[in-house]
Structure 1
Amino acid sequence: MSRPSLPSSLPLTVREVKDLARSLRGALAPHVRLAHGQALDVLARAAGLPDWNALAARYAGPGLGAPMPILRVYDSGLAHRFYVDWLGFDVDFVHRYDAAAPAFTGISRDQVALGLSEHHGDGTPGSVVWIPVRELAAYRAALLADPAAPLRPGIDRDAPGGPTMSVLDPFGNELRFCEPDL
């Protein structure tokens, strides 16, 4: 049996496929609600492949991919409320060896991908991730518009590299959102 070939109209990078999945979710809402991972699987099946893993593997080529920093978290639910509900990340996948095992969650927003791990030994509490951002003031305003915002971060306009907004997650990890001086 031959492997199906991807139609030439499909995006050329994994990031473009993820963007297409976000667009699909938006187009179907509010009538059909899909998780991000479900939308990725739908696109894979549309390309004649069994699931997202198979589709992502088709895009893999020689060379290095983008890194995924792994942050240590102690409570997946609290991490979800912070990273997804407040910061606006999407859940790409959740992996557990079994129902009682710690979770490893992959999240992303635009070009940023992070791993959130409950596994002892993954990541170090208190890690710092530097995240370049366009329109930092607008992103901050959107975060502060949430009446249940867990934090009220400011912007340090004199930070090295450009205006920076530091946000501490509930587990002591620091996200530094920076609008680089170019």
Structure 2
Amino acid sequence: MEMTVEAAKAAARALRADLADRDFPISHSTALELVAHQLGLQDWNTASAILGNRETDGAGIGVPVPVLRVQRFDDVREFYLDFLGFTVEWEHRFEPSMPLYIRLTRGDTRLDLSEHHGDGTPGSVVWINVRNVYRLHAELEQKRYSSQRPGVEPDAPGGPTLDVIDPSGNNLRFCQSDDA
């Protein structure tokens, strides 16, 4: 689901109602601030400005979010968070012993990782548009991730491309295309 101002307000109303049911009442403005923080933003004013400026078509169709199957998030945590620099937007488990479903973000890119058997297929490829693939390459080279030393393929179809493969076999293809 693409987060909009309306969806964020609905999340704040739901949070406020849930906390009130647990004898922990909060104001609507506090709920809005908490939702903004969950989205990784400084405050509600920032969230409202950013969410209000997201482009959609007339039907409200937003940017797709790929779902990648991972066997164990603990095994890919270092890869996505430390090496690639993604942050956790939110995570969900039905129960503590159930598989994890998690949304990661970096810039405008959102990826969902799922330990659920029926979600995604290990070995999938996700093509990610970047403005400067060489800057990303330099950033990754400095991190010295133990099992990856990716290079840039300057003449790849679509533009210079940097491929990295996560511990579950999913390929993230960062491409500097003309429309980046």
TM-score, with structure 1 as normaliser:
0.68
Q: Distance in 2 between matches of 1:41 and 1:165?
A: 28
Task: Describe how 1:129-168 pairs up with structure 2 within 5 A.
Answer: 129-168=126-165
Counterpart contact for 2:40–2:89, Cα < 8 Å = no
Indicate the residue corresponding to 1:111 in structure 2: 108
Query: Partners of 1:43 and 1:174 in 2: how far apart?
Result: 29
Match of 2:84 among 84, 87, 92: 87
Separation of aligned partners in 1, 2:4 and 2:119: 28
Q: 8 Å contact 2:103–2:110 — kept in the other structure?
A: yes
Summarize deviations over 1:126-158 as a string: whole Å, max 9, x none.
100000111111111111101344300011111
What is residue 21 of structure 2 aligned with on the other side?
none
Q: CA RMSD in A?
A: 3.2
| Cα pair distance change 1:164/1:44, threshold 3 Å | closer
- 5+ residue gaps, structure 1, are 1-11, 18-35
Count residues in correspondence: 142
Counterpart-to-counterpart distance in 1, 2:35 and 2:44:
14
Q: Give the distance between the partners of 1:180 and 1:114, measured in 2 at CA.
A: 20
Rounded to whole Å, the distance in 2 between the matches of 1:41 and 1:86 is 21
Q: Does 1:171 align with 2:165?
A: no
Letter in 2 for 1:169: D
Q: Does 2:115 match 1:121?
A: no
Checking the alignment, whether the CA contact within 8 Å between 1:72 and 1:125 is kept in structure 2 is yes
**Bigger CA drift: 108-117 or 146-155?**
146-155
Mind listing any 5+ residue stretches in structure 2 that lack a counterpart?
9-33
State the shift of 1:63 in Å: 1.4
Q: What is the aligned-residue identity percentage? A: 44
